[in-house]
Amino acid sequence: MSATPSFIETADLLQLGMAYKLVTAKDASERRFVAVGRLCRDLTGLAPEEVIDDAPRLYARILPEHREALERAEAQAAAALSRFEIEVRMLDAAGGVAWRRVTSTPTARPDGTIVWDGLMMDITPLRRAAETLEAQRHRLEAAVEATGLGFWEWDVRGGQVTWSERNAELFGLPPERVTMPIERYGALVHPEDRARVREAYERARDGAGRDFVVDHRTAHQPGGAARWVQARGRVAKDEGGVALVVGTTLDISERKATEERRALLLGELAHRGKNGIQVMMGIVNQTARGVASVAEFEEVLLSRLQAMADSQDLVTASGGLPVRLRDVLQTTLTPFDEARFELAGPEVVTIGGDVAVALALLLHEFSTNAVKYGALSAPAGRVRLSWSAPEAGQTVLEWTEAGGPPVASSERKGFGSRLIEVGLRAQGGMVEPAFDREGVRVRMRFPVAAQGTGL
């Protein structure tokens, strides 16, 4: 546009702002207004004649930091002979501070001077409205982040996403407000979850609903692990389609960890329940084969089931955590003459629940046989149970009888041997019986469990 008098008059008539024509030296060492619109007084507090007579008076009304920015913009535009536009703060007619937008186009003259055709407009209401909106945004973000949520806004057409400080922190970035290309956000989502996040947004974009919710992991950060977050978004559309998407991010890592622990626990309970049923079926089956009457069947079956129940009570009382091997032995041997048993081994050895139940049944069976046929059937008979410190995740428990009647070797596979197949062997254990003439010896190897794991 050309800042001719007619243009200046048109700007005055339409109340567009203060139109002007400015001439500067090539190095901007001198400035001289040659024409100024009558709205000059309204915007600057100076009459057009005052500005024409003394150009520095107008520049002096611009706040110092903004005056420097204006001079830099002028210098760059003069070097490239290109239009510039800048917003500055300056004193108004009443002595207050107002916002002005200055737009100017340079034209070079043969003598090296530059003519600027420009317009100064009042944008104070727009800036104050923007500042009010920004303040409201900050208050909203503060309120949202007080609940632990991160706040984000995606300018779909501009391809930029803005995150609050909390949102940036949730993705492993420094806790500061940040605006980034939407592609960078995608890179901060765990690779395995990116398709799910995209599909959730596309369903909201293309469907009747406007909202979407999706759980996903963040990408692994240097020195850290992935975090589970829940993103909630709302899609805003206009006649041109999707314009804006706003939403929140919530850290759900603890909830996900709880869900995983619950799933593991349910799986463990199902596993133990299945093993327990198998053991009980074996007990009933083998007991029925080894007795001569219903009364004997009842007595032996109840005894074996009681041993199983006692060991299970011990496991239950531990809250699902590992139990001490010594406690399992003492609980199992309580129905017998405890004084005739010698326990020797490290106190710290612990075993998991399934191993504890299977081992208790075995020891009950060994004890019963010792009372009937072995060392405990003689007054001087004794049983020694010794175990080793864990090695490679396992321990060795040895059952050694002494002082009983002579032992005859047996090839018959009794209840104890069969129990191994559904008990210790299922848990990675093994048994090696030896029928020495001085007394039965049994070497058992089975997994140990670290305290606090329950495994």
Per the DSSP assignment, residues forming a β-bridge with 22 are: 33, 116
The answer to whether residue 292 scores a pLDDT higher than 90 is no
Given a contact cutoff of 8 angstroms between Cβ atoms, the answer to whether 344 and 384 are in contact is yes
More confident residue, 217 or 312: 217
Q: What is the pLDDT of residue 85?
A: 92
Residue 131 — very low, low, confident or very high, per pLDDT cuts 50/70/90? confident
Is 92:125 a contact under the CB 8 Å cutoff?
no
Q: Residues 387, 396: contact at Cβ < 8 Å?
A: yes
Helix axes 353-372, 253-289, angle to 10 degrees: 20
Angle between helices 253-289 and 415-422 (to 10 degrees): 160
Percent of the chain with pLDDT over 90: 30
Per-residue pLDDT band at 352 (split at 50, 70, 90): confident
Radius of gyration of the chain (CA): 44
pLDDT category of residue 454 using cuts at 50, 70 and 90 = very low
pLDDT band at 279 (very low <50, low <70, confident <90, very high): low
Angle at 251 between CA 250 and CA 256, to 5 degrees: 120
Asked if residues 246 and 233 have their Cβ atoms less than 8 Å apart, the reply is yes
Average pLDDT over residues 124-141: 73
E strand map for 96-240: 97-108, 114-122, 150-155, 160-163, 178-181, 211-217, 228-238
Residue 264, sorted as left (phi over 0), alpha (psi -120 to 50) or beta, turns out to be alpha
* Residue-wise pLDDT tens digits, 165-224: 888 989 988 888 899 999 999 999 999 999 999 999 999 998 877 889 999 999 866 556
pLDDT digits (tens, 9 = 90+) for 247-269: 889 899 888 888 877 776 666 55
Helix (H, G, I), strand (E, B) or coil at 408: coil
Q: How confident is the model at residue 240 (pLDDT cuts 50, 70, 90)?
A: confident
Residue 2 has what pLDDT?
45
Per residue in 94-127, pLDDT (tens digit) is 888 999 999 999 999 998 899 998 899 988 888 8
Whether 289 has a pLDDT exceeding 70, the answer reads: no
DSSP string, 226-289: --EEEEEEEEEEETTEEEEEEEEEEE-HHHHHHHHHHHHHHHHHHHHHHHHHHHHHHHHHHHHH
At position 198, the amino acid (one-letter code) is R
Task: State residue 54's pLDDT score.
Answer: 92
pLDDT of 164 > 80? The answer is: yes
The listed range with the strongest mean pLDDT (25-29, 138-142, 221-225, 383-387) is 383-387
Query: What percentage of the chain exceeds 70 in pLDDT?
Result: 78
Q: How are beta strands 341-344 and 382-387 bridged, if at all?
A: parallel
Residue 231: pLDDT over 50? yes
Q: Please provide the average confidence, as pLDDT, over all residues in the chain.
A: 81
Matching residue, tokens 């009304």? 61
pLDDT one-digit tens code per residue, 42-65: 899 899 999 999 999 999 999 988
pLDDT bin (cut points 50, 70, 90) of residue 418 is low
Q: Chain centroid to CA 393: how far?
A: 32
Q: Are the C-beta atoms of 152 and 249 separated by less than 8 Å?
A: yes
Residues in Cβ contact with 243 at an 8 Å cutoff, skipping those fewer than 6 apart? 155, 156, 157, 236, 237
What pLDDT was estimated at residue 200? 92
Q: Is the pLDDT of residue 274 over 60?
A: yes
Q: What is the pTM of this model?
A: 0.41
Is the separation of the CB atoms in 278 and 270 below 8 Å?
Answer: no
Determine the average pLDDT of the residues in 243-250.
89
Minimal CA–CA distance to 325: which of 387, 408, 251? 387
Distances in whole angstroms, Cα of residue 231 to Cα of each of 3, 163, 179, 252: 53, 13, 18, 10
Q: Which residues have a Cβ under 8 Å from the Cβ of 345 and sit 6 or more positions away?
A: 325, 326, 385, 386, 387, 388, 397
More confidently predicted of 35 and 138: 35
Give how far Cα 271 sits from Cα of 267, 276, 293, 316, 318, Å: 6, 9, 34, 15, 18
Q: Report the alpha-carbon angle 282-325-372, nearest 5.
A: 50
Cβ neighbours around 243 below 10 Å, total: 15
Is 371 within 8 Å of 378 (Cβ atoms)?
Answer: no
Q: Indicate if the pLDDT at residue 39 is higher than 70.
A: yes
